[in-house]
Structure 1
Amino acid sequence: MEWFNVGKIVNTHGIWGEVRVISTTDFADERYEVGSELGLFKADGSKPIIVKVASHRKHKNFDLLTFEGYALLKDVEVFRDAVLKVSEKYLSDLEDNEFYYHEIIGCSVESLEGEVIGTVTEIIQTGANDVWAVQPVKGKTHYIPYIEDVVKTVDIESKKITIDALDGLLS
């Protein structure tokens, strides 16, 4: 079974078993819905723990979660620095021109002229649109905005993205 990151537990919150999560998903409401099952992967590399979300709320830039069976602070302290992941069986179909992060990261990026620019290494959420960090073989990282004027085609099957390298975009 394949697992995909949805967030990282960075701390506890309060005394009643709440954890503070920095989300890496665009679908926080769906992933953290009460009753949702997540895999909790601790930093020590041990076997994942399957947890069921008991509550979810937003607080500042964090998602605060509690899990069924983990009601107290002492129960969740050991989860600090653990990564929350969703099983592939819970991934839903997306609209046209929407992609999961794991589908984009690792794709090769080239210009309309066929020049290889680099590989997508990270996706940065800016609020307005995502920005893809593209690492060339040599040199500094390029930051490509995921907008219609720039990104022309995304072929998930062949892991290839074609962009229109507008003036100044790759400098």
Structure 2
Amino acid sequence: MKNFMKIRFFTRRNGDFMENLLQVGVITTTHGVRGEVKVFPTTDDAARFKKLKQVILDTGKEHLALEIAGVKFFKNMVILKFKGYDNINDVEMFRKKSLYVTRENAVKLKKNEYFIADLIGLKMISDEGEDLGELTDVLQTGANDVYVISKEGADDILLPAIKDCVKQVDIEGGTMQVHLLDGLRDLNSRREEA
């Protein structure tokens, strides 16, 4: 098992309606003149778009439920066609807007898989009981994810999301118990000094 936790990439805004939505992509631009848009997928399984019937577009002012009428793939992008949007002028305003799904329509997670949105904000506690701070970001490096742990007045800690480091995740309790490998704190301090 190469990675302890394969994490699907989604984001949320805390404390409002957006907490029940999970981001699956960002519209980058229009595609052609028939109302299609190019979407950069922010999920680790772009093929999931073939199964989606609806997405929610966050315009910044409102949330629009858009029915998906067609899905194609081009390089690392997803091409979407929305029902009722038939020309380029209809979708021009969707550029740089995020697409979401409800948690009910999200990919079902396996054991030891978590949405990044649910990990952000967890209190990070060492296996020795030390409060390390809060998980503020997840960096996706390819080999394994890296958790960014931030605490006021201290250097950020970059913790590899591997079985040797992640001991227990308690989403409901808002905590993650971790083991800091020997030298990890020193390595992070040297990174800050450079």
Instruction: For residue 102 of structure 1, give the secondary structure of its aligned residue in structure 2.
Output: helix
Residues 1:41 and 2:54 aligned together: no
Instruction: For residue 138 of structure 1, give the secondary structure of its aligned residue in structure 2.
Output: coil
**Percent identity, aligned pairs only?**
36
Letter paired with 2:183: G
Residues 1:164 and 2:179 aligned together: yes
* Alpha carbons of structure 1 residues 155 and 34: separation in structure 2 relative to 1, 3 Å: closer
Determine the C-alpha separation between the residues in 2 that align with 1:27 and 1:151.
24
Match of 1:150 among 145, 165, 168: 165
Instruction: For residue 49 of structure 1, give the secondary structure of its aligned residue in structure 2.
Output: strand
Indicate if the aligned counterparts of 1:122 and 1:133 stay in contact, CA closer than 8 A.
yes
Q: Which residue of 1 aligns with 2:73?
A: 58
Match of 1:7 among 25, 30, 33: 25
Query: Displacement, 1:136?
Result: 1.8
Instruction: For residue 98 of structure 1, give the secondary structure of its aligned residue in structure 2.
Output: coil
Coordinate RMSD, CA, aligned = 2.0
Segments of 4+ moved more than 6 angstroms: none
* Alpha carbons of structure 1 residues 126 and 53: separation in structure 2 relative to 1, 3 Å: farther
Letter paired with 1:161: M
Query: Displacement, 1:20?
Result: 2.2
Determine the C-alpha separation between the residues in 2 that align with 1:66 and 1:142.
42
Determine the C-alpha separation between the residues in 1 that align with 2:113 and 2:128.
24
Query: Displacement, 1:63?
Result: 2.5
> Which residues of structure 1 form unaligned runs of 5+?
none
Residues 1:119 and 2:138 aligned together: no
Query: Displacement, 1:34?
Result: 5.0
Letter paired with 1:77: E
> Which residues of structure 2 form unaligned runs of 5+?
1-16, 189-194
Instruction: For residue 110 of structure 2, give the secondary structure of its aligned residue in structure 1.
Output: coil
* Alpha carbons of structure 1 residues 54 and 169: separation in structure 2 relative to 1, 3 Å: farther
Instruction: For residue 29 of structure 1, give the secondary structure of its aligned residue in structure 2.
Output: helix
Give me the TM-score of the superposition, normalised by structure 1.
0.86
Alignment of 1:54-93 (within 5 A): 54-93=69-108
Indicate if the aligned counterparts of 2:24 and 2:41 stay in contact, CA closer than 8 A.
yes
Letter paired with 1:40: L
Query: Displacement, 1:55?
Result: 2.6
Give me the TM-score of the superposition, normalised by structure 2.
0.77
Match of 1:140 among 131, 141, 155: 155
Q: Which residue of 1 aligns with 2:46?
A: 28
Query: Displacement, 1:157?
Result: 1.0
Q: How many residues align?
A: 168
Which structure shows the bigger proportion of residues in strand conformation? 1
Instruction: For residue 166 of structure 1, give the secondary structure of its aligned residue in structure 2.
Output: coil
Which structure shows the bigger proportion of residues in helix conformation? 2
